[in-house]
């Protein structure tokens, strides 16, 4: 059975906290819903320094990485910066952006729930599968009736309801539980067995028998969290990809050689493409038979799409040549985040030039050559 299309709006809680090395909503915090594309329109200003969500995110990531314990562990100050970002914009949506397919473990459920012609309490085997199709998550439920309709329901059969189906009892057509994900760092498609998958790390509570909700639904966001290690890894990959593409765009604008190696640049553009592709549209039944709706993958995919639109308009991420602050500018000559940094850099270059050009001191004259 193919479920109907579910809305893919983003949800965020009003307040988050960090517990057990994961960013999670504060208990009793209010759940808000919004469409990220409405919040992050492409910038249209012509100022030398522009304000964008993806640009602010890059600078936040830079500050977090400066004092981090290691690549995947932020410092206490960095953890607070992550928490501040989450309170403002919500979680990144790492799992729904990275996972491609989720096959849940098969369970026993009442057969009459899935087969209207069956009136008895016989159990049947049910397996739910989630897959991302055309940028949207699709749910598929497979129900297999393994009992004879003419036989009486036994007590032992009723005891199966609500339990996992043992691997040796899986009927034909039912798959082994697994998670298929796109690994950005290794740039490959990976498949994890159920017991080895990172799926449980992204949820506050493990549902009974591993029956996790469909990604991007309200039920999903209510139980969703993001481990700090995954947040650091994903944020670092995204920031590096944006900086690489920005450097390449600047080189093309100025008709200079690209400073980013070809392999790194290709990986960067593919990372951003795979995220931006989650922002799109689909069609569903509505008031006028069929209507168009926008789909999203989360804050991360919105920032990727917005950046690519901005970079086509000539905007790019620039790392200040003095203090290394990351900012967004449309000026191809922009090198510094502020007048203060520009003046400090010019002063430093001037002093360095004077020092290099200074004449060496003359050797003192021999006393015998001095005039008496």
Do 156 and 189 meet the contact criterion of CB atoms below 8 Å apart? no
**Is residue 334 scored above 60 in pLDDT?**
yes
How large is the average pLDDT for residues 174-199?
Answer: 88
Asked whether residue 109 falls in the same domain as residue 205, the answer is yes
The encoded tokens of residue 109 equal: 């459920």
Asked whether residue 168 falls in the same domain as residue 202, the answer is yes
Asked whether residue 125 falls in the same domain as residue 152, the answer is yes
Which residue has better confidence, 237 or 157? 237
Asked whether residue 91 falls in the same domain as residue 105, the answer is no
Structural domain span for residue 57: 15-95+227-329
**Is residue 34 scored above 70 in pLDDT?**
yes
- Provide the pLDDT for residue 319: 92
Average pLDDT, the chain: 84
Assigned domain for 83 exists: yes
Which residue has better confidence, 270 or 288? 270
- Report d(CA 319, CA 328) in Å as an integer: 9
Asked whether residue 254 falls in the same domain as residue 197, the answer is no
Percent of the chain with pLDDT over 90: 41
Assigned domain for 215 exists: yes
Asked whether residue 134 falls in the same domain as residue 206, the answer is yes
Which residue has better confidence, 17 or 288? 17
Which residue has better confidence, 293 or 242? 242
Burial of 237 by CB count in 10 Å (0-12 exposed, 13-18 middle, 19+ buried)? middle
Which of 198, 225, 252 is the endpoint of a domain?
225
Assigned domain for 149 exists: yes
- Provide the pLDDT for residue 184: 78
How large is the average pLDDT for residues 61-82?
Answer: 92
Asked whether residue 167 falls in the same domain as residue 57, the answer is no
Asked whether residue 122 falls in the same domain as residue 211, the answer is yes
How large is the average pLDDT for residues 91-98?
Answer: 92
Query: Phi and psi of 62, rounded to 5°?
Result: -60, -45
Assigned domain for 343 exists: no
- Provide the pLDDT for residue 42: 64
Asked whether residue 90 falls in the same domain as residue 231, the answer is yes
Neighbours of 314 (CB within 10 A): 14
Domain count, the chain: 2
Which residue has better confidence, 349 or 144? 144
Q: What is the largest CA-CA distance in the chain?
A: 133
Which of 171, 206, 225 is the endpoint of a domain?
225
Asked whether residue 173 falls in the same domain as residue 189, the answer is yes
Which residue has better confidence, 218 or 121? 218
- Provide the pLDDT for residue 338: 86
Asked whether residue 162 falls in the same domain as residue 210, the answer is yes
């Amino acid at each position: 059975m193919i479920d109907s299309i579910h809305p893919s709006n983003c949800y965020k809680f009003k307040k988050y906290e960090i517990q057990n090395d994961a960013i999670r909503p504060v208990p009793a915090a209010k759940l808000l819903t919004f469409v990220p594309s409405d919040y992050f329109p492409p910038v249209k200003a012509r100022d030398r320094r522009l304000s964008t969500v993806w640009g602010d995110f890059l600078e936040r990531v830079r500050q977090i990485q400066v004092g981090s314990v290691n690549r995947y562990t932020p410092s206490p100050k960095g953890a607070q910066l992550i928490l501040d970002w989450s309170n403002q914009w919500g979680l990144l949506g790492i799992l729904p952006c990275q996972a491609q397919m989720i096959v849940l473990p098969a369970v026993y459920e009442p057969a009459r729930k899935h087969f209207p012609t069956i009136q008895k309490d016989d159990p049947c085997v049910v397996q739910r599968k989630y897959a991302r199709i055309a940028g949207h998550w699709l749910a598929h439920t497979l129900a297999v009736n393994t009992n004879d309709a003419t036989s009486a329901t036994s007590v032992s059969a009723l005891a199966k309801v609500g339990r996992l189906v043992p691997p040796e009892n899986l009927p034909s057509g039912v798959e082994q539980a697994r998670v298929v994900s796109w690994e950005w760092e290794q740039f490959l498609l990976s498949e994890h067995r159920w017991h080895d998958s990172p799926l449980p790390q992204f949820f506050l509570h493990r549902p009974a028998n591993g029956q996790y909700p469909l990604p991007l639904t309200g039920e999903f966001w209510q139980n969703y969290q993001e481990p700090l290690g995954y947040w650091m890894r994903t944020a670092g990959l995204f920031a590096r990809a944006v900086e690489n593409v920005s450097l390449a765009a600047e080189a093309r604008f100025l008709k200079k050689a690209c400073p980013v190696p070809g392999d790194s640049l290709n990986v960067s553009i593919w990372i951003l493409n795979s995220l931006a592709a989650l922002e799109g549209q689909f069609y569903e039944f509505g008031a006028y038979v069929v209507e168009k709706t926008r789909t999203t993958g989360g804050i991360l995919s919105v920032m990727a799409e917005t950046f690519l639109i901005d970079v086509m308009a000539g905007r790019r991420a620039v790392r200040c040549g003095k203090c290394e602050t990351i900012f967004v500018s449309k000026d191809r000559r922009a090198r510094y985040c502020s007048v203060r940094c520009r003046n400090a850099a010019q002063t430093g270059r001037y002093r360095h030039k004077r020092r290099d050009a200074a004449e060496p001191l003359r050797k003192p004259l021999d006393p015998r050559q001095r005039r008496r």
